[in-house]
Amino acid sequence: MYDYTAPANLLKDRIILVTGAGDGIGKAAAMSYAKHGATVILVGRGRKKLDAVYDEIEANGWPQPVIVSLNLADATAENFKELANMIGAEFGRLDGVLHNASTLGKRTPLASYDDETWQEVMHLNVTSPFMLTKALLPLLEEADNGSVVFTSSSVGRKGRAFWGAYAISKAATENMMETLADEQDGVTNIRVNCINPGATRTNMRMKAYPGEDPDKLATPEQITPLYLYLMGDDSIAMNGKSFDAQ
Ligand code: NDP
The pLDDT of residue 46 is 87
Predicted confidence band at 1 (pLDDT cuts at 50, 70, 90)?
confident
DSSP 38: P
With beta carbons less than 8 A apart as the criterion, state whether 41 and 30 touch. no
Give the span between the Cα atoms of 124 and 133, in whole angstroms: 13
CA 100–ligand 1 middle distance (angstroms): 6
Quote the CA–CA distance of 132 and 20 in Å, as a whole number. 13
Q: What is the pLDDT of residues 102-154, one digit of tens each?
A: 999 999 999 999 999 999 999 999 999 999 999 999 999 999 999 999 999 99
CB of 53 within 8 A of CB of 27?
A: yes
Structural domains of the chain ordered from first start: 15-244 (3.40.50.720)
Residue 101 alpha carbon to ligand 1 centre in Å: 5
Cα separation, 168 vs 145, in Å, equals 30
Q: Is 166 a catalytic residue?
A: yes
- Give residue-wise pLDDT tens across range 205-230: 999 999 999 999 999 999 999 999 99
pLDDT digits (tens, 9 = 90+) for 82-112: 999 999 999 999 999 999 999 999 999 999 9
pLDDT digits (tens, 9 = 90+) for 161-216: 999 999 999 999 999 999 999 999 999 999 999 999 999 999 999 999 999 999 99
pLDDT in tens, 48-95: 999 999 999 999 999 999 999 999 999 999 999 999 999 999 999 999
Distance from chain centroid for Cα 176? 14
Ligand 1 atom nearest the C-alpha of 166 is 34
For a mutational test of ligand 1's pocket, the pick from 204, 223, 242, i.e. the residue with the most ligand atoms closer than 8 A to its C-beta, is 204
